[in-house]
Structure 1
Amino acid sequence: MTALRLQSAALDRLMPMHLQLDRTGRLLHAGPTLRRLMHDVCFDGATLLDLFDVRGLQPVTSFDTLRGMTGSALHLRGRHPEGIKFRGLIVDMDEAAEGDEPLRGPATAAYVLNLSLGLNELSTLSDTSLTAADFPATDMVADMLYLIEANSAAMGEARRLIGRLQEAQTESERLALTDDLTGLGNRRTLDSVLRRYSVRARPFAVTHIDLDDFKLINDTHGHSAGDRVLRGVAKVLSEETRESDTVVRAGGDEFVLILDDITDPAVVERVAARIIARLSAAEVSGAPGITVSGSLGTTLSSFYTRPDGARMLRDADVALYASKAAGRARHVLWYEGLTHGLGDTSEEAAG
Structure 2
Amino acid sequence: MKNSIDTHTIALGKVLHALPDTVLLIDCDQRIVFANAEIGNLLGYPPAALTGQLLSTLLPERYRHAHAAHFNHFFATPVPSPMTQRPILHALTADGHETPVSIAISSLDCADRRYALAVLRCAKQMRDHLSEAHLRAEMDPLTGVGNRLYLGRQMQRLIDKQHPFALLFLDLNRFKQLNDCHGHRIGDQVLRTVAQRLQAAVRNADLITRLGGDEFVILLDDICEPMQLEHHAYRVADAITQTMHLDGLNLQIGAAFGGVIFPLHTATLDALLAMADQAMYCAKRAGVTFALARPEQAERNCPAQTSA
| TM-score bin, normalised by smaller chain | 0.5 to 0.7
- In 2: Cα distance, 1:186 partner to 1:303 partner: 25
Q: 1:153 to 1:204 in 2, by over 3 A?
A: closer
- In 2: Cα distance, 1:193 partner to 1:205 partner: 12
3-state secondary structure, aligned to 1:237: helix
TM-score by length of 1: 0.50
1:333 counterpart (271, 292, 295): 292
**Equivalence map 1:153-232=2 (5 Å):** 162-232=123-193
Kindly provide the amino acid, as one letter, of the partner of residue 290 in structure 2: H
* Cα deviation, residue 152, structure 1: 4.8
- In 2: Cα distance, 1:284 partner to 1:234 partner: 15
Q: 1:338 to 1:321 in 2, by over 3 A?
A: farther
- In 1: Cα distance, 2:233 partner to 2:267 partner: 22
1:298 counterpart (253, 259, 266): 259
Question: CA-atom RMSD, angstroms?
Answer: 2.8
**Equivalence map 1:112-191=2 (5 Å):** 148=37, 152=40, 162-191=123-152
**Equivalence map 1:26-105=2 (5 Å):** none
Q: 1:223 to 1:175 in 2, by over 3 A?
A: same
* Cα deviation, residue 299, structure 1: 1.0
Q: 1:151 to 1:161 in 2, by over 3 A?
A: closer
3-state secondary structure, aligned to 1:209: strand
Kindly provide the amino acid, as one letter, of the partner of residue 127 in structure 2: Q
Question: Quick check: which has more Rg, 1 or 2?
Answer: 1
Q: Is residue 243 of structure 1 aligned with residue 204 of structure 2?
A: yes
**Identical pairs, percent:** 31
3-state secondary structure, aligned to 2:204: coil
Kindly provide the amino acid, as one letter, of the partner of residue 293 in structure 2: W
Q: 1:326 to 1:166 in 2, by over 3 A?
A: same
* Cα deviation, residue 200, structure 1: 2.2
1:111-165 superposed Cα distances (whole Å, 9 cap, x missing partner)? xxxxxxxxxxxxxxxxxxxxxxxxxxxxxxxxxxxx95x7756889x98962222
Q: Is residue 262 of structure 1 aligned with residue 223 of structure 2?
A: yes
TM-score by length of 2: 0.56
1:311 counterpart (243, 261, 271): 271
Counterpart for residue 345 of structure 1: 301
Q: 1:285 to 1:293 in 2, by over 3 A?
A: farther
- In 1: Cα distance, 2:244 partner to 2:235 partner: 14
Kindly provide the amino acid, as one letter, of the partner of residue 301 in structure 2: T
Q: 1:183 to 1:335 in 2, by over 3 A?
A: same
Kindly provide the amino acid, as one letter, of the partner of residue 268 in structure 2: D
1:141-200 superposed Cα distances (whole Å, 9 cap, x missing partner)? xxxxxx95x7756889x9896222211111000000111111111111122122222222
Kindly provide the amino acid, as one letter, of the partner of residue 231 in structure 2: R
- Across the two proteins, how many residue pairs are aligned to each other? 194
* Cα deviation, residue 324, structure 1: 0.5
Q: Which runs of 5+ in 1 are unaligned?
A: 1-146
3-state secondary structure, aligned to 1:323: helix
* Cα deviation, residue 252, structure 1: 0.9
Higher strand share: 2
Q: Which runs of 5+ in 2 are unaligned?
A: 1-35, 45-99, 102-120, 304-308
- In 2: Cα distance, 1:338 partner to 1:288 partner: 43
Kindly provide the amino acid, as one letter, of the partner of residue 307 in structure 1: A
Kindly provide the amino acid, as one letter, of the partner of residue 320 in structure 1: M
- In 1: Cα distance, 2:227 partner to 2:236 partner: 14
3-state secondary structure, aligned to 2:202: coil
